[in-house]
Structure 1
Amino acid sequence: MHPAPEVTVHYLVTGHTGFKGPWLALLLLSRGHTVSGMALDPEPGSLFERARLAEQLVSDLRVDIRDASATIEAIQAAAPDVVVHLAAQSLVRESYRNPRYTYETNAMGTLNVLEAVAAAPSVRAHVVITTDKVYRNINQEAGYVETDPLGGDDPYSASKAMADLLTQSWVHSFPGCPTAIARGGNVIGGGDVSRERLMPDLVRAYTTGQAPLLRFPRAVRPWQHVLDCLNGYLTIADALLAGSGVDQWNIGPGRDSFVEVGKVATLAADLWGGGAHWDNQPGDHPHEAHLLALDATKAQTELGWRNRLGFRDAVTWTIDWERRVHDGADPLIVTREQIAAFETLDRSSARIGSRYQHLKGTR
């Protein structure tokens, strides 16, 4: 298990009602910290609701980060030690339908959070989460490194690149609270209810006996389990609290996890069983990158962070979570079990699945 902290740290997570947010809150709680959250209302059926997360938080605040004054008031009232800024409009296709909302939330919302953190004397570290899609994508086979140029063709990618550059500018222009940027890849895990995102779309279809339709089955993405990604974010936060880490960091999986969308869907169908399968979706679709990969060597060498789950493990843990909850298991208990199993893992462990099996039934 992860050792108990010498001093309990109070974290504020923006976007804690989304997908990563509840996992992050429960991971922090398992490590002995206290957590507040600031976000919009959760989606129906969200992990936030199913895990009864509101009962476990110091503060559960409903704030739209586009509202600068409300954001400042909320962060000052929560008085956290660390802010992890996850809140975003995070869907590519939604960004085509609602570009203004996407730019306002992802770019100006990030500015509002940066200003709020600067105005909150309690905050000692700030981690701003962007995405692998901030890089100017030229479909190169090598993973992008932190010094590669930023860009973005679709509104989502462009808005997150803007948030990334804005944060870099803020750090250089207004030195104060130690702030770092974390760029994650395609994250999967149990409890995601987002529309037009691969794994929840697959699960929704497989649970109802339908064949999901894939827009770009040959597209390659870096697939990473949510706990590996969040552990990277917290490794960065720990570095900031210790006096280092002010930089940009890729938090992505190894090359064995750069896998075509169709192969992910096939593995998920095989794990689900019952004849599950997928089909191609015909027609024209808005632009999405064909090949996108991160190089996380810098975080590995300078922060000592490592992925603990490979590609197959990440998909297996995700489908296992969804299968068990679909069959009636308590989402909070299953999430806690997977967190406990993750904390026992070393990346070199050979028997990941059996370790997880031994922890089933614990709380």
Structure 2
Amino acid sequence: MKLLVTGGAGFIGSNFVHHVVAHTEHHVTVLDKLTYAGNRASLAGLPDDRVAFVHGDIADAELVDGLIAGADAVVHYAAESHNDNSLADPRPFLDTNIVGTYTLLEAVRRHDVRFHHISTDEVYGDLELDDPARFTDTTPYNPSSPYSSTKAASDLLVRAWVRSFGVRATISNCSNNYGPYQHVEKFIPRQITNVLRGIRPKLYGAGHNVRDWIHADDHSSAVLAVLNRGRIGDTYLIGADGEKDNKSVIELILTQMGQPADAYDHVTDRAGHDLRYAIDSSKLRDELGWTPQYGDFEAGLAVTIDWYRENESWWAPAKGATEAFYAERGQ
């Protein structure tokens, strides 16, 4: 197939492009705006005869229409996705996550192109720490930030275009990703690179907040499964049973990197910090036969630490500015 991958120079999108090249014969065109979170270096080493890059905005209707006209399927990763940034300035999240998704949907409707929309478990809000429940595809939406609310809106647009216009689309809502090519502003790579730089890691509040972690390569394999075998109009939740509280994650990073488990600092908590996310991925596993490669979070984390240790040239250019940004906020 000829795939158009939006946001393919970002963290999860670039991991998907690498996975597609390694495991299929598909040709990929990446469309990326190259905001601070997009990095051409994340696509380095991929063959030119398999991967093409287009610098552009998913809200550019003319550009999008021309690219989708030549595609067999679109995998839509492009999004503004950082909660802290959405609290500081919500407007880019509306422009990209809502207007950008609308622009793509109109183009796939005109050209009858298969569409897969990448979303987040954050659209469901959060769960109590002692609640045994997990999110499913029938959990009511209850977003709590400008980021998650705009992703919820984009999901609803996709559902409406399927029902109203017959667009051939699926949705996946994934739990927190970790792995190569993740910007150093994010929790896991920030702590890993702090240790590598001799800086004490930083933990929001008491660190009791729980996230359901999945390695980006497992996310990629799940998306391919949905693209190939998912039922049109359906939503699939992607998770690897990786629930860990933030305190345990930071202590595990320190231990795996040969540091005392308590060698970190507590910093001001994030406003409106969701308590717990947890994914029930049984539909994906039962219907599509998907299983994660990194079912053991500790093993996946060790591989991730090794990648950041070996690829300082990739993350170093953004490290200083990131830490300065957080220092201004007492974080």
TM-score (norm 2): 0.86
Q: Which residue of 2 aligns with 1:262?
A: 247
Tell me how far 1:163 sits from its aligned partner: 0.8
Tell me how far 1:51 sits from its aligned partner: 2.5
Q: Verify the 8 A CA contact 1:46 1:193 in the aligned structure 2.
A: no
Q: Distance in 1 between matches of 2:156 and 2:38?
A: 34
Q: Verify the 8 A CA contact 2:86 2:146 in the aligned structure 1.
A: yes
| Residues 50 and 59 of structure 1, relative CA distance in 2, 3 Å threshold | closer
Q: Distance in 1 between matches of 2:42 and 2:219?
A: 22
Q: Which residue of 1 aligns with 2:44?
A: 51
Q: Distance in 2 between matches of 1:74 and 1:301?
A: 34
| Residues 48 and 54 of structure 1, relative CA distance in 2, 3 Å threshold | farther
Q: Which residue of 2 aligns with 1:38?
A: 31
Q: Does 1:22 align with 2:11?
A: no
The one-letter code sitting in structure 2 at the alignment partner of 1:30 is: A
Q: Which residue of 1 aligns with 2:321?
A: none
Deviation string for 1:230-260 (max 9, x for gaps)?
A: 11100000115xxx35301101112xx1101
Q: Distance in 2 between matches of 1:269 and 1:111?
A: 43
Q: Does 1:201 align with 2:194?
A: no
Q: Distance in 1 between matches of 2:307 and 2:161?
A: 39
Q: Which secondary structure state, in structure 1, belongs to the residue aligned with residue 290 of structure 2?
A: coil
Q: How does 1:1-363 map to 2 (within 5 A)?
A: 9-31=1-23, 32-41=25-34, 43=36, 46=39, 48-49=41-42, 51-53=44-46, 55=48, 57-76=50-69, 79-121=70-112, 123=113, 125-139=114-128, 140-176=131-167, 178-195=168-185, 197-216=186-205, 217-240=207-230, 244-254=231-241, 257-273=242-258, 278-283=263-268, 285-309=270-294, 310-326=296-312
| Residues 194 and 117 of structure 1, relative CA distance in 2, 3 Å threshold | farther
The one-letter code sitting in structure 2 at the alignment partner of 1:186 is: N
| Residues 276 and 57 of structure 1, relative CA distance in 2, 3 Å threshold | farther
Q: Distance in 1 between matches of 2:37 and 2:120?
A: 25
Q: Which runs of 5+ in 2 are unaligned?
A: 316-331
Q: Verify the 8 A CA contact 1:14 1:83 in the aligned structure 2.
A: yes
Tell me how far 1:34 sits from its aligned partner: 1.2
Deviation string for 1:320-344 (max 9, x for gaps)?
A: 2122334x8x99xxxxxxxxxxxxx
Tell me how far 1:42 sits from its aligned partner: 5.9
Tell me how far 1:69 sits from its aligned partner: 3.0
Q: Which runs of 5+ in 1 are unaligned?
A: 1-8, 332-363
Tell me how far 1:53 sits from its aligned partner: 4.3
Q: CA RMSD in A?
A: 2.3
Q: Distance in 1 between matches of 2:100 and 2:133?
A: 32
* Number of residue equivalences: 310
> Which has the higher mean CA deviation after the structures are superposed, 49-58 or 103-112?
49-58
| Residues 174 and 245 of structure 1, relative CA distance in 2, 3 Å threshold | closer
| Residues 44 and 294 of structure 1, relative CA distance in 2, 3 Å threshold | closer
Q: Verify the 8 A CA contact 2:29 2:52 in the aligned structure 1.
A: yes
Q: Verify the 8 A CA contact 1:48 1:54 in the aligned structure 2.
A: no
Q: Distance in 2 between matches of 1:222 and 1:16?
A: 23
Q: Verify the 8 A CA contact 2:119 2:172 in the aligned structure 1.
A: yes
